Structure 1
Amino acid sequence: MLRTCSKLVRRCAGPPSGRSFSSKPRDWFGINSEFISMRGLGITSRALNGMPEFVRYSRNTPRVFVSGSSDEVRSSMYILSQFPMNARVNLPEFVQGAERAAHTVLQRLYTQDVEETKRFLEQLATPDSLTALLHKPSAPIVDGSKKDRVILEQLSVNTAALDAVAYIWERVDEEVNSEWLSMRVQYDVTEHLLISPDGGEGIEDRRAINTQFAWTFEADVTKPEEVEWAIVRATPFVEKPAVLTTDAAQKEEDEKK
């Protein structure tokens, strides 16, 4: 799912241009008559064709949208995913891909070779988001190296759900449009860690932490065959000791949400 192309990095680093529409309720007022006259019929047709599937997954478990989001916001996120003229984005499949991306990135953050990790993440993330990704409290970097040897033994993704969607449309010349989709995913994960003291002296420690963060993925969706998502924004990791429950207790807790 993840791969950063230079075109994406240049767009993120440059000044904003063109028009953008997001799933924030008031942002819909920015859709003008010119855009609707050019694109409205196609968007409506695609949205209506996919509506039965949207109704099925919008409230199913595992969640596609964050808990507590209104019907209006969920519908906005779905409709915006139908704005691209040619590329189709299946939201449940996208969220599954975002979950796999979390596994890939978090596993990499615990490797001992800091420079190798940085080179790997540079292929997946823009410079601004890379700064946040490399500052993992449970895997601190001191003087360019890892202080302790920390192994991520198990990662449980409790929640990976869409929080916001934005569509960006740019007029490149008289006939060509450039289109982008931006998807923000909120994560809640439990990390099971094995911590070995630096130098191999001392007692190993096992601990479980609950980690919350949000990543914004973006892709050029002008051409379906060239869609490549990258992490363009990342919030700081928020970690706290995990309270582990039995499977039955966890299921009961999930049903209450």
Structure 2
Amino acid sequence: MSSSDIFIGETIGTAVLILMGGGVVAAVTLKRSKALNAGWTAIALGWGLAVLTGAYIAVGVSGAHLNPAVTVGLAIQGTTEWSDVPLYIASELLGAMIGATLVWLTYYGHFRDHLTDPQILAEARTGPEGLVEQDNAPSAGPVLGIFCTGPEIRNAVQNLMTETIATTVLVLSILTLGLTEGLGVSGTGVLIVALVVAGIGFSLGGPTGYAINPARDLGPRIVHALLPLPNKGGSDWGYAWVPVVGPLLGGALAGGIYQLAFA
């Protein structure tokens, strides 16, 4: 496929992925949303459907990686040329930033209401149990989770392992689609990947919010830092390396497992 195919498919597909994935988190989080407090089930299913939609849009154009970890895994497998990897990753990051910006535009009024609500701001300062945040706790603000992930227990080693393990499951499931005749090139393959993403959300997403995609986390985190959101708090850059490095390690590990066990 051509460079323009990669750029167009990955940018648009990833933008739709983040628009719908970030959108479901916004719907569950923001004040006066009809889906307010719908919970983790809605988020996990919503992200699965976001992957389904973005991948269906892009699969016939660029192959629908939509994730630098997937790109790395496919390059190690040998399906993707290493020379194409930088363009894939750059397009995925750009698409993620566009998608996060579209979430902000879609929920513009809700962001303003939420971020100027005294009760919401008080809860952000004290935490859900009413306890004042520790001095060394990150100033994340009340909407950062719409844009990117964060751990429930902040332990770099544990968080890195969680993201690595979860991404290995995702990428290995993608790499092995082709082992079932006809599955990897049919729409069924895209559906299976979407279900795997939802399953990861249910089973492995609790500790860190399951980034499992460096572009999905870094691109929207950059947008959060740049957007003129009142009272938005910090973007938690001290944690930002974990959902980048962990998924890349997971993608590489999945590629290595495939070469050892299935090639």
User: TM-score, length-normalised on structure 2?
Assistant: 0.26
Whichever structure has more strand as a proportion of its residues is: 1
Greater relative contact order (Cα 8 A, min sep 6): structure 1 or 2?
2
User: TM-score, length-normalised on structure 1?
Assistant: 0.26
Whichever structure has more helix as a proportion of its residues is: 2
